[in-house]
Amino acid sequence: MRHFKKRRILSREKTQRDALLSGLASSLFIHKKIETTLAKAKEMQPFSEKMITKAKINSPARIRLISKTLSKQASKELFEIVAPACLKRKGGYIRIIRKSFRKSDTASMALIELVDFPEGNGFKKDLPKVKKKKDVSKKKVGTADVKNNKDVNKQKKVSTKTSKDSA
């Protein structure tokens, strides 16, 4: 029986669940914001907050302890950037914001972000813009322009409509 066991199972075995939580926490520390399901977010919050609390004391023992569960890049980011920013806080390092439902399976989605970091850190909209492709309508096809071909097609449609109407 499962009496007094509060953890969410997330349809996974223990090893898979631990790997999922450490992967989500690594992504959170690297990107400062991630989007996932609400159940995973609620399960990941205490896991990540405990990591931040442990990382506040920068000792070799704590570094070894955290580097067992997180990736190298995430543990480096945690000790060098995230933990020093959270030194003044006593808890509540992570914010969960509910979002709409996912279209494919209507799962409740949530945005998880670190509280002490600015709004734009790690979001795709803040990345440099990609150059737009040139307008295709200006390219030449044979001897006539594409715009002219479109105009010719429109004229053909109009002329076929008038011929059908007159018949």
Domain containing residue 71 = 14-126
| Tens-place pLDDT, residues 111-160 | 999 998 866 554 444 444 555 556 555 555 555 555 555 555 556 555 55
- Output the CA torsion 105→101→26→90 (10° steps): -140
The CATH number linked to 26 is: 3.90.1030.10
| SS3 assignment, position 134 | coil
Residue 142 included in any domain? yes
If asked whether residues 57 and 120 sit together in one domain, one would say: yes
Residue 33 included in any domain? yes
Largest CA distance in the chain: 91
For residues 2 and 119, what is the distance between their CA atoms, to the nearest angstrom?
Answer: 40
Q: How many CA atoms lie within 13 A of 22 on its CB side?
A: 16
| Pairing status of strand 144-145 against strand 94-101 | unpaired
| Tens-place pLDDT, residues 26-70 | 999 999 999 999 999 999 999 999 999 999 999 999 999 999 999
- Output the CA torsion 7→12→17→21 (10° steps): -90
Secondary structure element (H or E) that encloses residue 101, with its range: strand 94-101
What is the number of structural domains in the chain? 2
